[in-house]
Structure 1
Amino acid sequence: MLRGMTYHCQLFLLAVSFFSRLPVPRNLPYSSERMNQAGRYFALVGLLLGAICAAVYGLLSQFLPTNIAILLTMAASLLLTGAFHEDGLTDMADGIGGGMTLERRLTIMKDSRIGTYGASALIMALLGKYVLLTTLAGQISLVPVLLLGYTLSRAVAATLIYDMPYVSDPNSSKSKPLANRQSRLELVVLCLCGLLPLLAFTAVVWLWAVLICLGLRYAMKHWLMKRLGGFTGDCLGGVQQITELALYILLIGLGHNGMTILGGVLCAFW
C-alpha cells in the first residue's frame, strides 16, 4: 500500500514538473510511461496552482486595491506556469487561423513567432480574465472561483486525450509524453479531481458548470477534428484557457440573474 501511495505521489509530482515551474525532487523517477500516467493528475495540478494564486490574491488584497491585487495575481500565475497554457492558446490561434492546409497549420503552431491571430487571442484572454475576475471580486470571494477555474478547465482539456488522435510530430512535441490514450480509470480520476472545487458551490452552479464544460468539450473536439484531425499539446492549452474564461462568465451570469452561487459543503471556508 505504501509503495502504491509513493508511486501516485511521484506521478503527481511529475505532473507538477510538466505543467508548472514549481520545484520537484531532482531524483524523481521518470519514464515516458510514468509521464503519460501522470496526466490523470492534471486537474490536481490546477487545484494546487489555483490555491497558490488564491493565497497570493488573499494576501495582496489586504494591502492593495482589488484590481491591482488581481493584476499581480495574474502575473504570479504566469510565472508559476511559465505561461504554458497561454502559449498553447496563442499557437493554436495562429496555426488554425493562419493555415490553409493541415500541414501549414501544424507548421505555424510549431513556429515560436506570434502572429496576428495568436496576439489577438492572447490579449483577449488576459484582458478577459482581468475584467471577469475583477467583476467576480465584487460579487463573491475569489478563492473558490480561482480553484474552480484552474482545476475544472484543466480537467476538460486533458479529457481530449481520451478519445482524440494526436496529430503533431511526437519527436519534436513538448507534449509527447501525453500523446498516448488515457485509460478509463485515468479519465475517471481526472474528472473526479476536476469536479472537487464544485463542492463549494450550489447545485445550480454544479448543473450549469457540467453542462457548459460538456458543451465546450464537444464543440472544441468537433472543431479540432475538422481543422486538424486531432489534437496537439497547444490545443490542450487553448482549450484550458477557453474553458477557464467560460467558467468565469458562467459565474457572473448566474450572479447577475440573482442565483445563489456559493453554498456547497465547502462554502463555510469562504
Structure 2
Amino acid sequence: MMLRAELLQDIVTDLRIAMSFVTILPVGPSKPAGNGAMARASWALPVAGLLVGLAGAAAYAIASRVGLPSATAALLALAATVLVTGALHEDGLADTADGLGGGRTRDRKLEIMRDSRIGTYGVCALILSFGLRWSALAAIANPWLVALALSSAHVASRAGLPAFMSLVPSARPDGLSASAGQPPSPSVAVAFGLGTFALVVALGPGKALIGLILLSLAGLILARLATRQIGGQTGDILGAFEQIGEIAILLLAAAALQMGR
C-alpha cells in the first residue's frame, strides 16, 4: 500500500514538473526540481502536451459554437495554445532559425540563439509555422476532428523530446536543456508509447505510422543540423523540434481528411 502511495506521488510530481516545464500554468512543485528530476519527468511531457492541445480545441469549439468561421476559430485555437505555453516553443523555433541561419561560427550561432531580439530568419520561421498550422486547422474545420488533430499533434510532438534529449548531446554546459539532464530509457519509452497511442487514436494505425516516420525524419534532420553547426541541442532546438512535429502532424491530419472525402 505504501509503495502504491509513493508511486502515485512520484507520478503526480512528474506531471507537475513536466507541465511547469512547457506551460505557464502554476502547477510546479513547491521545491525546485533537481538531481535529474526533469529528465525523469520527461515521460510526462506528452501529457502536458495533451493539456495544451485541449486548450486549443476548447477555444476552437467555443468559437465555432458562437458562429465564427473556421478560419477565425483556427486562429483563436492557436492563440490559446500560445497563451498556455507562453510561446515557449515558438520562441525556440525563432531563435533556432536565427542562430542556425544567421551565424557563421559555432560561438556566434549560440550567441544569436541567446539574444532576445528576433531576426529575419526567425520572423520567416514563425510566419511559416503559424500559417501552416492555421491552414491545417481551418481545412479540418470540424470541431471534433480539430480536437483530435490538436491533441495528437501536441502529444506526439512532445513525445519525441525525451529521445531527442537522450540521443543528442547538449551544445553548452548551461541553459534549459543542459539543466534538464539526459532522460533515462524508461522515460523515453513511456513518452514514445504515449505519443504513438495518441496518433493511433486520432489518425488510425496507418496514418499513425506515417506520423511517426515524419517525426523521426524531422528529428534526424534537426539533430544533424544542430550537431554539425553548434555541437548538439539546446532548449531552443527542442522548441524547434516541437514546432516542426506539431506542424507535421496537423498537416498529416488535414491531408488525411481531404483524401477521405
Q: If the length of structure 2 is used for normalisation, what is the TM-score?
A: 0.91
Partner of 2:52: 49
CA offsets 1:214-252 (integer angstroms, 9 cap, x no match): 222222222222222210000000011011111122223
CA separation in 1, counterparts of 2:242 and 2:140?
A: 19
Contact 1:10 1:29 in 2 (8 A): no
Secondary structure of 1:150's counterpart equals helix
- The 1-side partners of 2:112 and 2:238 are apart by 16
Q: Does 1:16 align with 2:19?
A: yes
Aligned length: 256
Flag the structure with higher helix content: 2
User: What is residue 191 of structure 2 aligned with on the other side?
Assistant: 190
Moved over 6 A (4+): none
Given candidates 111, 114, 135, the residue that maps to 1:107 is 111
Match of 2:226 in 1: 224
Q: Is the 8 A contact 1:32 1:177 kept in 2?
A: no
Match of 2:65 among 62, 65, 84: 62
Classify 1:252/1:152 alpha carbon distance in 2 versus 1 (closer, same or farther; 3 Å). Answer: same
Displacement after TM superposition at 1:161 (Å): 0.6
Matches of 2:113 and 2:6 in 1, distance apart? 40
TM-score by length of 1: 0.88
Question: Closer, same or farther in 2 for the Cα pair 1:35/1:181, shift >3 Å?
Answer: closer
CA apart distance, 1:150: 0.7
What residue in structure 1 maps to residue 214 of structure 2? 212
- The alpha carbon displacement at 1:139 in A equals 10
Residue 203 of structure 1: aligned partner? 205
- 1:27 maps to a residue whose letter is S
What are the superposed Cα offsets for residues 153-211 of structure 1, whole Å, 9 maximum, x if unpaired?
111233211111101241xx233432x22211111011112223222332221221122
Indicate the RMSD between aligned Cα atoms, in angstroms. Answer: 1.9
- The alignment partner of 1:60 has SS state of helix
Q: C-alpha separation between the residues in 2 aligned to 1:177 and 1:200?
A: 34
Distance 1:29 1:114 in 2: 30
Equivalences for residues 81-92 of structure 1 within 5 A: 81-92=85-96
Greater displacement, 194-203 / 97-106 = 194-203
Q: How far apart, in 2, do the equivalents of 1:183 and 1:27 lie?
A: 24
CA contact (8 A) 1:44 1:194 kept: no
Aligned CA distance change for structure 1 residues 133 and 101 (closer, same or farther; 3 Å): same
Aligned to 1:141, the other structure's residue is in SS state: helix
Gaps of 5+ in 2: none
Distance 2:115 2:32 in 1: 31
Secondary structure at the counterpart of residue 88 of structure 1: helix
Q: Which residue is equivalent to 2:135?
A: 131
1:29 deviation in Å? Answer: 6.1
Q: 1:17 to 1:234 in 2, by over 3 A?
A: same
Q: Does 1:167 align with 2:168?
A: no
